[in-house]
Chain A
Amino acid sequence: MSGSNEISRRDFIKVTTGIVGGLIGVAVGLPTISYLIDPALQEGGKDVWVTIGKFEDMQVGIPYPFSFTRVQVNGWERTSSSFGGFAVRKSDDPKDLLILNSRCTHLACTVNWNEQAQGYLCPCHDAKFSIDGEVLDGPPPRPLDVYDQFRLTEDGQIEIFSKAG
């Protein structure tokens, strides 16, 4: 066959085997890869607005406690996690709210408002936070976290924006 322009039978077989093999490889490989990485491509829990209470129920100077749970679906399992915090009203203006997360910034215990101490106390390692969340005492490295996105609905409820996770 050498010298002729036609490709030899052997080369033809080689090339077709290569092409068909490559196609089969792609047809098998792509589904396999997407099967393996599928959970990484799923959207996590959605970011949602959560109602925490009526604005008129919140009194100036007294932290208003609230809590909510969010359910997350991981594969075939549902995990619910609880969140909570305090809404601190400063004035008549609904924009003038400070909404704190009650998760201690030290090791994630839940802090409670203590009227006598005029601060949030953490039961785990005796941390104390001011009404505005500043660290007054104890090991926490930073002030309490703040929910900085919130809004007043038409029927007088305060909603906060809770991010996924």
Chain B
Amino acid sequence: MWNTVYEWLDERLGLNDMYTNLLDRPEPRGNWWNTLGSASLFLFIMQGLTGIFLTVYYTPSPDHAYDSVQYIMEGVAFGWLIRGIHHWGATLMVLVVFIHMLRVFFTASFKYPRELTWLIGIGLLLMTLGMGFTGYLLPWNQRAFWATTVGTQIAGSVPFVGEFILKALRGGPDLSALTLQRFFSAHIWMLPALLAGLIGIHLFLIIKHGESHFPSKED
């Protein structure tokens, strides 16, 4: 019965082909450093899921942001766990993505034909940092407020266009409800969407080129 259903689907979707190409593709003899990209992907998905759950209670408004976070921590069953995972996962993701980049650099895997994979990787690193930056403001406590004040101030020190960048980031000259709202929007919609799209291309390229061999003594 299940076999018939599976065969019917396989004939139309090519499930077996997908399986061989995605999960059963040949890999060079690697080592644990080669798992960091997958670890980054796992962390991205985990941050996505815990983030979605946080929005069940979190409210991005200066009146409610702080109280709603407090409520998640103390009022809701396992709120501390969901927020804790999201909080520490964020730091871990930056770290893992960064080490993944270092391994790609040290094994010289960015060379032809994988330059594009590398360039997209840089985009992924920047997006990941952007997620950290925008997420940091959301609890709307003193630390968040002043960190964002300083962070946007630094972005504002660019010559000529600095003031414009500062206003665009803050949604005005000062940190306000507009800043919180646009950081929230960037954090839950824009950056994750970009990140997901870029990860898709990144993975497509990896499957297309196969993984690079570990450089040998002669290389």
A: which residues have CB within 8 A of B? 31-32, 34-36, 38-39, 41, 75-77
- Residue interface bits B47-87, CB-to-A below 8 A is 1, else 0: 00000010011000000100110110001111101100000
B: which residues have CB within 8 A of A? 53, 56-57, 64, 67-68, 70-71, 75-79, 81-82
Q: Which of A31, A75, A76, A77 contacts B77 (CB 8 A)?
A: A31
Q: Which residues of B contact A77 (CB under 8 A)?
A: 64, 67
In this complex, the member of A36, A39, A75, A76 whose beta carbon has the largest number of chain B beta carbons within 10 angstroms is A76
Q: Which residues of A contact B71 (CB under 8 A)?
A: 75-76
Q: Which residues of B contact A35 (CB under 8 A)?
A: 53, 56, 76-79, 81-82
Give bound CA distance, A77 to B59, whole Å: 12
Known contacts A35-B56, A76-B71, then 13 further A-B pairs from the complex at CB < 8 Å, ordered by chain A residue: A31-B77, A32-B53, A32-B78, A34-B77, A34-B78, A35-B76, A35-B79, A35-B82, A38-B77, A41-B77, A76-B70, A77-B64, A77-B67
| Chain A residue at smallest Cβ distance from B82 | A35
Closest chain-B Cβ to A6's Cβ sits at a distance in Å of: 26
Q: Which residues of A contact B81 (CB under 8 A)?
A: 31, 35
Closest chain-B Cβ to A31's Cβ sits at a distance in Å of: 4
Closest chain-A Cβ to B199's Cβ sits at a distance in Å of: 22
Are B68 and A31 interface neighbours, CB within 8 A? no
Are A36 and B53 interface neighbours, CB within 8 A? yes
Are A76 and B67 interface neighbours, CB within 8 A? yes
Are B78 and A31 interface neighbours, CB within 8 A? yes
Are A76 and B68 interface neighbours, CB within 8 A? yes
